[in-house]
Structure 1
């Protein structure tokens, strides 16, 4: 079993595949520990998979996972994490904007005892207005909402202990929030500065529209971190406030009816409507909270379903494995 697993998702990166493989191999071979390279083809439409296939055919340390379609970066990383066998797992992008020569400093921090080591792109080469400013705002919000004091949640360049990353369910676009989710499990987290060279080949898959989706992910993460195992505490609070407020208004209208003997529905129609809405809304929020509690119980008892579908997996058997068969 290898000590280190390097997980790299690819999507239409035919111009970078071979170069990245050569650079990763050169860096990892400098150490004395065993390693594997887990390459995930996330539904590429160019020659990315063919090149990965050729690499796997000559190197038994390379595992290639081909997904049936483009599931997205988070799902591709989840596939890589699920099939990685290393004690320590490092993830990075396949566009050469992450320098393989910086891998040893991640591994040093893991050896020191940290559970998660996150990269920090302290000098970014991206567009200032469309990438860097939105990224800084999102990172500041994420740090404030999660309580994890790191500067860069968005980069994929991170390293993990195997037992930590396997406890974190990944779906949607949650890969950028792994440190926040890991903190919920009590993981120790540190951050190291990394370079962020400009892309020299291929086309970027990130756009301004992705920034807006991050806002909704932030709300999701905040909710998950605080109420993941107790949703009734969130919905029940609003439900109780609604029921109490509605009951108070209804009691006031009832008292008014008994004292004045007037037409409450006609004379105080707005208050009557507000009381009704508050009561019904409060009951609904309480019901949602109870349903959430049922989902939490189901989550902890049912089997997890992977957010991806594998088409095929390739790995060349080493000569020692072949002799044992």
Structure 2
């Protein structure tokens, strides 16, 4: 008779890996030690992001004697966001934990984050704070500080350390977000947009002893570009006309005033054909109309997206006294829309 399927674990740990072959045996062993004294069962999803240093072969060796280790191999190097999403797509636990493979995060702090989730039902995500960072390179410390200030100020999610990979989530939050590009830096902002209540816990941090850092000052500039996308996503995803149309009105209004003033001068007999102000007024009006049109097109696309069964417009939970909370539901279908 076929064996019944094993029950899903309580905790899914997701680790993106890129050229960390020397760290893998110690990483796997320290995660096992951290979870050994915990009441929850666990699985480790080690996502190899196209490594070229033998990490894949090492993961196969380690998984041969560890049933809880689930290696995932990407076809090529897609980036950290894609590696995390590949892991998120395969998690089975009710809690999800992430950390880096370079052993700068302390696997022994995983129970600390899980304890916060278990003890506080009002918290959906616990973000690690590397309060005493051990990075020696200014090229890592300075970009991180700049990025933390920019992201906190722009998104309104105030954390000390956005860049700490050691985080824990309740499973429904992970199911609601999608990562692509380099959005892994903005997971707290995306989680907040999905309704998560976030707490921050101080965790340990270690200096890198093996491998090579993949971070540099150039990432600060990429953060700025991604931040523009995230802010737009958080504030205007469901009302793009407010973003494009608002900017369009600010451009068109002075253009209209300029043209009205020039029209008045024309009625008084003045020559306005050679004035630079005429060109400025026409350009401002045209740019404003184009922005408003872009906003209207965005509104049409959003309506098509939601009515075709895209991402839910909101997440809701029904409270039933003396019962377990009902699972989060998606937005009602178009025929059941709320007035």
User: Of 180, 188, 199, which residue of structure 2 is paired with 1:179?
Assistant: 188
C-alpha RMSD of matched pairs (Å): 1.6
Q: Higher relative CO (CA 8 A, sep ≥ 6), structure 1 or 2?
A: 1
Paired position in structure 2 for 1:168? 177
Paired position in structure 2 for 1:103? 110
* TM-score, with structure 1 as normaliser: 0.88
List structure 1 runs of 4+ shifted beyond 3 angstroms: 297-304
User: Of 279, 284, 299, which residue of structure 2 is paired with 1:293?
Assistant: 299
Unaligned runs of 5+ in 1: 305-325
More helix by share: 1
State the distance in 1 between where 2:10 and 2:91 align: 10
Paired position in structure 2 for 1:235? 244
Output aligned runs, 1:112-151, within 5 Å. Answer: 112-113=120-121, 114-127=123-136, 129-151=138-160
Q: Deviations over 1:165-202 (max 9, x none)?
A: 11112111111211112112221100011111011111
Paired position in structure 1 for 2:57? 50
Distance 1:211 1:243, change over 3 A: closer
Work out whether residues 140 and 215 of structure 2, in 8 Å CA contact, stay in contact via their aligned partners in 1.
no
State the 1:28 CA deviation: 1.2
Q: Verify: 1:277 aligned to 2:260, yes or no.
A: no
State the 1:284 CA deviation: 0.9
* SS at structure 2 position matched to 1:277: helix
State the distance in 1 between where 2:286 and 2:53 align: 55
Q: What count of residue pairs does the alignment treat as equivalent? A: 301
* TM-score, with structure 2 as normaliser: 0.85
Q: Which has the larger displacement, 75-84 or 126-135?
A: 126-135
Q: Deviations over 1:242-296 (max 9, x none)?
A: 2222222212212211121x33202xx2111011101110011112212222343
Work out whether residues 143 and 219 of structure 2, in 8 Å CA contact, stay in contact via their aligned partners in 1.
no
